[in-house]
Amino acid sequence: MTHQFTINVIGYTWEILGIVWLGGLAFTKRTVRSQPIGQRVFQMVLVLFGFLLLGSKYIRGGWLGRNFIEPTPALETLGLSITIAGCLFAIWARITLGSNWSGRATVKAGHQLIVKGPYAIARHPIYTGMLIGAVGTGLAMAEWRCFLGFALLAMVFAAKMGQEEKLMLQTFPESYPRYRQRVKALIPGVL
């Protein structure tokens, strides 16, 4: 497997995730409450920049393009496998969430608390999957820009999780606290 093949498959994997997201927009419920638009725009800009750092060949100048570890075919294969697994997990979570999904912290009309499938493993499995995918991409590329992109995504997702947790506690004051006790936010048994 060549380095270019790995890069291409990683790119296609993230593109498939993006297509699932865009396709799902048509099937979401009407929003009842959401985070302020200014916060959302700021978070979107940071997320887009994080993904650009992970995948753009144009952001490789200077130290950003340097390797933080010596890339090897085994490391590339491992990174590719982790990227695919993470993106598949995020897609599974997105499909499971169905019409309750939104790109911002929201409560939808007739919102349901989803606790099955990947939501029985983590309260925020979309972020879990995307962060796992970012780790895999970072391992395969082994460049500092990927490390920075992962850190940026993790920071934005942590802020969004806080906003989403608050909305879910307000919307489901009895069932969400029990769910929080049972299921960790991102990593089963850890975090």
Q: What is the pLDDT of residue 163?
A: 92
Give dist(CA 172, CA 150) in Å, integer: 31
Query: d(Cα 174, Cα 187) in Å, to the nearest integer?
Result: 23
Q: What is the pLDDT of residue 5?
A: 93
3-state secondary structure of 174: coil
The predicted-structure confidence for 121-167, as pLDDT tens digits, reads as follows 999 999 999 999 999 999 999 999 999 999 999 999 999 999 999 99
pTM of the model: 0.92
Average pLDDT in the 16-24 region?
A: 91
Domains within the chain, CATH numbers bracketed = 3-182 (1.20.120.1630)
Res. 60 pLDDT band, cuts 50 70 90: confident
For residue 110, pLDDT over 90 is answered with no
- Cα 170 to Cα 76, 84, 167: the distances in Å are 44, 35, 5
Q: Which two tokens stand for residue 97?
A: 């969430």
Beta strands in 42-182 (DSSP E): 106-108
Q: What integer pLDDT is reported at residue 9 of this predicted model?
A: 95
